[in-house]
Structure 1
């Protein structure tokens, strides 16, 4: 049940479905046809990652002394959450995850010296469970350190706008701050 596509034109996501990837080193791609067919529960599951990792984000409005800026991220925007970590984004995730909210919401623009970015994300929904698999990479900038990791997150739909993170499996060098 999607708010943006006719359900008859959507195929089930019961097999791994690629939602996000980067082409070359620097071009983010969001499968808009897949986004249009996401159920709200699937949107919540893939949206969970949007709080922890950002990619190719730029300041739409720079922070000032008296106001924080607005960070525009292609992945977060494509999911319909507006600016990264702002009210619309956080409220959607809070409604779905309540006590399972990510411990932080990342606001790193592309210009930040240290980055942890989403490289690729796929998901599948079977029954009441949505499994999200993603690859991420980090760097401390030119000549600095780099690291990478993959992660599998398993969410269970608990009804009435409610998801529960039931398993998280990480391989590689995921930063401890997550």
Structure 2
């Protein structure tokens, strides 16, 4: 009887050891799977397709027209390049409701089309900071105290007349025509610019700005 009990005990212990060993292997396997999943999620690499798109134009009433169809398929790097350019030039920005002292509810046409929220909001600047995370010069520009909140109709303002986006390989080129006005002084100006961005896996960098000479004119303010 003791022999049978001894053998049964050995079989039981052996089975427990095998079960625990299998559990350990499963736990390690699960941890490895989760780790790989997190690494994959945090290392998103974007791809681009060559194209040339008219993103912004003006209609017969001089109102801004956005290419909404393109916005449905826009990539994150393209969204970041256009969002960066739109940060510093007016694009039919108006207060969404009553004006607030913190100027936190300025709704701009381009940012709305790009689903970036209000001008200078965390949704707007936070997205750009993430996409330009390795471009220190741009990050300096994207500090909250550098972000303009100029509504449409302000005495002094710039605005877009045209924006064209071109993708070639891993480069994004944003060409635009812009103009400005100073109602108080009777000054107006216009220029063209091409901003060149380069995709680097999960982020972009501003490589170069090609600006034309600014053309200036005077006009009668009627005063």
Which bracket does the TM-score occupy, shorter chain normalised? Answer: 0.7 to 0.9
Alignment: residue pair count: 162
Q: What is the match of residue 206 of structure 2?
A: 165
Is the radius of gyration larger for structure 1 or structure 2?
2
More helix by share: 2
* SS at structure 2 position matched to 1:94: helix
Q: What is the match of residue 173 of structure 2?
A: 131
Report the RMSD for the aligned CA atoms in angstroms. 2.2
Structure 1 segments, 4+ long, off by >4 Å, are none
Q: What is the match of residue 54 of structure 2?
A: 18
Mapping of 1:1-178 within 5 angstroms? 14-24=50-60, 26-65=62-101, 67-98=102-133, 99=136, 100-101=138-139, 103=141, 104-141=146-183, 144-160=186-202, 162-173=203-214
How far 1:62 moved relative to its partner? 3.7
- Give, in whole Å, the separation in 1 of the partners of 2:171 and 2:162: 20
Q: Deviations over 1:76-114 (max 9, x none)?
A: 100010111111000011001132237232211012100
- Give, in whole Å, the separation in 1 of the partners of 2:99 and 2:73: 34
Q: What is the match of residue 23 of structure 2?
A: none
* SS at structure 1 position matched to 2:205: strand
Name stretches of at least 5 consecutive residues in structure 2 with no aligned partner: 1-47, 216-223
How far 1:46 moved relative to its partner? 1.3
- Give, in whole Å, the separation in 1 of the partners of 2:98 and 2:90: 17
Distance change (3 Å), C-alpha of 1:64 and 1:172 = same
- Give, in whole Å, the separation in 1 of the partners of 2:74 and 2:105: 26
How far 1:145 moved relative to its partner? 0.3
- Give, in whole Å, the separation in 2 of the partners of 1:25 and 1:55: 15
TM-score by length of 2: 0.67
How far 1:143 moved relative to its partner? 6.8
TM-score by length of 1: 0.82
More strand by share: 1
